[in-house]
Amino acid sequence: MLALGMGAQAASCVFLYGLPYLVPDLRHQLGLSLTGASMLVAAPLIGVIVALVAWGAAADRYGERLVITTGLAIAGASLLAATRVSGALSIGLLLGCAGVGGASVNAASGRLVLGWFSAAERGLAMGARQTAQPLGTMLAAAALPFIAARSGLAGALGACGGLCLVAATAVAVFAADPPRGDRAGVGPAVNPYRAPTLWRIHAASMLLVVPQFATTGFALVYLVAERGWSAEGAGQVIAIANLAGALTRLIAGKWSDRAMSRLQPMCSLACLVAAIMAATALSMWGRSPLTVGALLAAIALSVSTNGLAFTAVAEIAGMSWAGRALGVQNTGQNVVAAATPPVMAQLIDVGGYAGAFGIGALFPLAAILAIPVRAERLPQRAPGPAETALTPRPS
């Protein structure tokens, strides 16, 4: 079930978060500015924002298998349709529809982990599930520029659509929903949003999205425009950085299981993200030879907190609310993810890469203040197979 959830998530992430690697092709084939291409890249994320909470509610009611299969089928069909049209507006609308379908995976695949793993395993399992994003982005970085160079933009979009349809078929045939009800024993059955804990985790996660999408969205453009790299060469190096990002999520998940805490490791990693973003900005300003290494390290570290936040949200919300809570979590993150590329493009036009990345370093600093570490109560004994590791304190 974990492998199926990871595969579905990775398939959706290839197009949701891999389109920045097609920015040179979008600009060349459609005649767009950097800001215009960035807005087109944001189209799938806008679709995600529109649909996430609804898919989460559907997963709570009808189960994960049906939701993921239906959503990936919609995404695949929309991407294949985008290969048959021309013009930025038509492509953007179909990319938005693909985002609506891809949103199904974000909310539902997290419930598979919550339902099938115990609290003592859940951090590592959710970290593994969350590696699907950097792995999908890694695949996009390595493959999409290569495919676009040989088959054009339509070939790259068609490959994304075919991957979604393959993943939808695998989930339909092999996936099994976890038992209904609060079998996992996590979180309250009542509305968990009556306390501020989830709201603060959502806010911190939104702030931590900015460095993630600042780095993945503009690393390739920076290496091509400022360092003279080829798009294919830059994509291959960035793919390695995304593989390192997948490993950081696994390490963070295992750390949280050992520490019996999700939010304290999240806070510590936010400090590291702020530091590496500041170092990247300074090296860009001084045109240091260390810039490329700092940028790749920022790509790897900026994704390390996502699994911890998702695990904390799911555990606090419980099985009765997990789909909706993860939908809200993803909605907030994707609002910021959709806004980051166009805003970063404007900041780069005005103040250069160094100034834009320096501003990006401020967001993880703000996230440190938002993370509700004191609202996390550690267990008094080792958790059983159906017990929670975390429960929210009353506010």
Residues 6+ apart with CB under 8 A from 338: 42, 45, 46, 48, 49
- Between CA 44 and CA 52, with CA 49 as vertex, the angle to 5 degrees is 110
Helix (H) or strand (E) holding 254: helix 231-259
β-bridge mates for residue 377, sequence order: 391
- pLDDT, tens only, 230-270: 877 888 888 888 888 888 988 998 998 888 889 999 999 99
- pLDDT, tens only, 334-350: 788 878 888 888 898 88
Tokens of 33: 């500015």
Give the span between the Cα atoms of 36 and 342, in whole angstroms.
Answer: 8
pTM for the model stands at: 0.73
CB 114 within 8 A of CB 186: yes
CATH topology of domain 2-392: Growth Hormone; Chain: A; (1.20.1250)
CB 245 within 8 A of CB 10: no
What pLDDT, on a 0 to 100 scale, did the predictor assign at position 181? 52
CB 44 within 8 A of CB 22: no
Residues 6+ apart with CB under 8 A from 65: 171, 172, 175, 176, 177
How many angstroms separate the most distant Cα atoms in the chain? 61
Exposure on the CB side of residue 73, measured as CA atoms within 13 A: 10
Domain positions in the chain: 2-392
**pLDDT tens series, the chain, 395 aa:** 888 988 999 999 998 888 888 888 888 888 787 778 878 888 898 898 888 888 888 887 888 889 999 999 999 999 999 999 888 889 899 999 999 999 898 777 777 776 788 777 888 888 888 788 778 888 888 899 889 888 888 999 999 999 999 999 999 999 888 775 544 444 456 788 888 999 999 999 999 999 998 998 788 888 888 888 887 788 888 888 888 888 898 899 899 888 888 999 999 999 999 999 999 999 999 888 888 999 999 999 998 998 899 888 888 887 778 778 888 888 888 788 878 888 888 898 888 899 999 999 999 999 999 999 887 764 443 344 434 434 444 33
